[in-house]
Amino acid sequence: MKLYTFLILIAYFSTILGCNQFKSDHPEAALSDEFATDLTAKSIIEYSNQIDQKQLKLNKKTSLVYMLGDLSFYVEKFTENGNTVLITENAYNGGASHTLKAYYFRNDSLVLEKVKNELSNNEGKIIKNSRTFLRSNTVFKTENRTASAEDAIEALPYVDVPLSVSSKNDKTYLETVKTLNEVLEGKDRFDMVFENITTYPDSRYIILRSKVQNSYTASILVQQKDELVDSLLNNPIDFKDVKLNLNWKVIDREAVYVPVANNTSAKGLNR
């Protein structure tokens, strides 16, 4: 696939979660880092590397794996001492492409967006990395690099992308963060209710759908049953269109149900 087509697909993914317009009234937009004037691209990269190194030790919250057509994605938030330091978004378009976006925060202010896009087809793979640096919620530097292999792109330097006045004042990054928090909190289009539970012999899935018509769906693999799952299997109609209080973890791009001890059908409801 030509690079032109690849860039079109990248632009498509960039608008998936930010397709709605939002007012900048969320916490990350309202708060500004009082020490932001000291930030440089170098210091921000050093800070993000520190976050990456201790990522496994941070508190983590993971969204459901949401699906719409061939697209699937999930979001993770990492916090330290109650403060958000990193939000990641993994998006997949079947086996054709994968986009990983990482948003780094310092003192509740967004300072860096890192994006890795991978596109695969019969002709091979194209990888594009980009980094956007922010100071006081204003973009001051953007850079990218493109290659056809992982080892090749790691050997390449980033190239600066000229900034226009509009790109410097681009607030879509903050709007995207607001949407990612809605994904994590299950709000608006991401507020899911019970649709059904599959009963295939080799696997069971709890199927959820958005309260918004013709929007996202989600499925949760059931490997272990508890009383709530038994209730869903025995009386699925009683739970139709009901919001359930479920626990899960994401393994290999799939949400897996985590049973809760003494989880009865009544305790599993969140009305």
d(CA 164, CA 64): 37
d(CA 82, CA 242): 31
CA distances from 10 to 71, 92, 139 (A): 13, 11, 20
| DSSP for residue 65 | -
| Token reading at 97 | 């492409």
Q: Is 243 helix (H, G, I), strand (E, B) or coil?
A: coil
d(CA 119, CA 6): 7
Of 243, 249, 255, 260, residue with least CA distance to 195: 243
d(CA 126, CA 123): 9
Tens of pLDDT, residue by residue, the chain (271 residues): 444 444 444 444 443 444 433 333 333 333 344 445 578 999 999 999 999 999 999 999 999 999 999 999 999 999 999 999 999 999 999 878 999 999 999 998 999 999 999 998 777 889 999 999 999 889 999 999 999 988 899 999 999 999 887 777 778 888 999 999 999 999 999 999 999 999 887 889 999 999 999 899 999 999 999 999 999 999 999 999 999 999 999 999 999 999 986 555 444 444 3
CA distances from 127 to 60, 130, 171 (A): 27, 10, 26
The pLDDT, as a whole number, for residue 24 is 34
Longest Cα separation, the chain: 60
Q: Is 256 helix (H, G, I), strand (E, B) or coil?
A: strand
Helices (H), the chain: 3-14, 27-30, 41-53, 150-154, 165-168, 172-185, 227-234
Q: Is 203 helix (H, G, I), strand (E, B) or coil?
A: coil
Of 249, 248, 229, 247, residue with least CA distance to 239: 229
Instruction: Write out the H or E segment, with its range, that includes residue 99.
Output: strand 97-106
| Token reading at 195 | 């649709």
What is the separation, in whole angstroms, between the first and last Cα of the chain?
48
CA distances from 141 to 108, 130, 138, 169, 170 (A): 20, 11, 9, 12, 12
The pLDDT, as a whole number, for residue 262 is 58
| Residue carrying structure tokens 């500004």 | 32
The pLDDT, as a whole number, for residue 96 is 87
d(CA 190, CA 265): 23
The pLDDT, as a whole number, for residue 2 is 42
CA distances from 35 to 38, 68, 127, 229, 233 (A): 6, 41, 34, 50, 55
